[in-house]
Amino acid sequence: MTLPSPRGALVIGGGIVGLSIGLALQARGLAVTMVDAAGERAPASAGNAGQIAVEQHEPLASLAMIRALPRRLMSMGGPVSFPPGAVGQWLPFGLRLIRAVSPSRFAQGKQALGALLVEALPAWRRLMGDIGASDLLRNQGNIVAWESVAGARRARAALQGYASPAARWRDLTAAEAEALGGQLRSAPADAVRFEGTASVADPAAVLDALRAAFLGRGGTVEVRTATLAEARRSGADLVIVAAGVRSARLMREIGHEVPLIAERGYHIQSAQSRWPMDLTSVLFEERALVATRFRSGLRATSFIEFTHPDAEPDPRKWERLKNHAHDLGLPFDSPVETWYGSRPTLPDYLPAIGRSSRDPRVLYAFGHQHLGLTLGPITGDLVASLAFAEAGSMELGPFAVERFGR
């Protein structure tokens, strides 16, 4: 089926993925309107650890994750929780996840995700250069640290088989180890640094810059809740669903049942901190906590909570974050602010990117789980290529929503 070249598009969702798509479509000459539900943009896109994590090429849906789950439960001191009131969300999701961790599906997912991640950082550099905001991109990698000798020994053994298509790891230099240890109550037992990765100077500042560029190039933002039915009646040649955890409801309107869950994360942040601006993000792996110094302050992020997107937050998680920060000696030098938000996650931990088989005018891009910030710009490029039916070098079949069937 040959489709006419589009002239206008409506993007549902104004987070990092939606903004990246909007700018990529504008670069192709399209008039773009964005519908962004009030209050959803900042929680969905501004609360992460700020990492462009191209080293995470293995889908989290894996046999290793299933085996490690019992000791990673919040009741055991870990980051994962399954709230009893959300059993209707996480039980069906979990059953699908178990089916997704077979060796063959994991290998296919690893190959597909790796192909995206190889292009992720170049896409970031192009986008930030294009909008004149390259100063918001930090090409400094990230650190993974272990507090115990036993934890470091296990991690070192696992790293021997690490082979990312986009990143590599090395030991810290003596100066790096001294700089890290000097910020903490006790120096870590061991740490490594990943290179080939990057981060942003501040997620909220990046979103503001992207939004300003989108508006400055003639884009329109409507702050309201959208339905796919009215979007299809709007007269736009294309409708792009990029609404994060709200995307499943939209896709259901045209017959796609998408097993998307809200995988919530939490953070605390202090506007004032002695943590140096030039010290990169640090993952304290045994606590599943990432500490990042942004322009807006020091942030500590953690937790994987499978729930309904409208469920009330769990204050115990912020308390545990504060306790972790105290135990580590993280310098939160002013009162902390709290945040929680939903990562849109699919059972195989791959995003959904493609064109609807029910309506060729509808494209979609959601379900980026922990890699929404990482994959935003490359997703924008891929959706723009789909919009013009261009033959691309990347196979998008693994990301089609039809992979879930009914």
Pick the more confident residue, 139 or 352. Answer: 352
pLDDT level of residue 266 (50, 70, 90 thresholds): very high
Query: Residue 161: what pLDDT?
Result: 87
- CATH value at residue 170: 3.50.50.60
* Residues facing residue 282 across a β-bridge: 143, 291
Q: Over 80: is that where the pLDDT of 38 sits? A: no
Write out the residue range of the structural domain in which residue 142 sits: 8-404
Confirm whether 3 is domain-assigned.
Answer: no
Per residue in 324-367, pLDDT (tens digit) is 999 999 999 999 999 999 999 999 999 999 999 999 999 999 99
Q: How many domains does the chain have?
A: 1
Per-residue confidence (pLDDT) for residue 391, from 0 to 100: 72
Give me the half-sphere count of Cα atoms (radius 13 Å) on the Cβ side of residue 251. 29
Higher pLDDT, 45 or 385: 385
pLDDT over 90 (residue 5): no
- C-alpha–C-alpha distance, residues 140 and 186, integer Å: 24
> Is 2 domain-assigned?
no
CB 42 within 8 A of CB 151: no
- Whether 42 shows a pLDDT value over 80: the answer reads no
- Tell me the mean pLDDT in the region 381-398: 88
Say if residue 4's pLDDT is above 90: no
Distance between CA 17 and CA 375 in Å, rounded?
8
**Which range is least confidently modeled, 37-51, 183-197, 236-250?**
37-51
What mean pLDDT value characterizes the chain?
Answer: 93
Question: So what's the pLDDT on residue 235?
Answer: 86
Is pLDDT of 385 > 70?
A: yes
Q: What is the pLDDT of residues 287-316, one digit of tens each?
A: 999 999 999 999 999 999 999 989 999 999
Is the CB of residue 207 less than 8 Å from the CB of residue 19? yes
* Per-residue confidence (pLDDT) for residue 45, from 0 to 100: 75
Could you tell me the pLDDT band of residue 209, with boundaries at 50, 70 and 90?
A: very high
**Residue 186 located in a structural domain:** yes
Share of the chain above pLDDT 90, in %: 88
**What's the pLDDT at 2?**
56
| 406: pLDDT strictly greater than 60 | no
Give the tens place of pLDDT for each residue, 154-202: 999 999 989 999 999 999 999 999 999 999 999 999 999 999 999 999 9
pTM of the model: 0.95
Reported as a pLDDT band with limits 50, 70 and 90, residue 7 is confident
Whether residue 1 lies inside any domain: the answer is: no
Two tokens, residue 368: 């980026």
Res. 149: pLDDT tops 80: yes
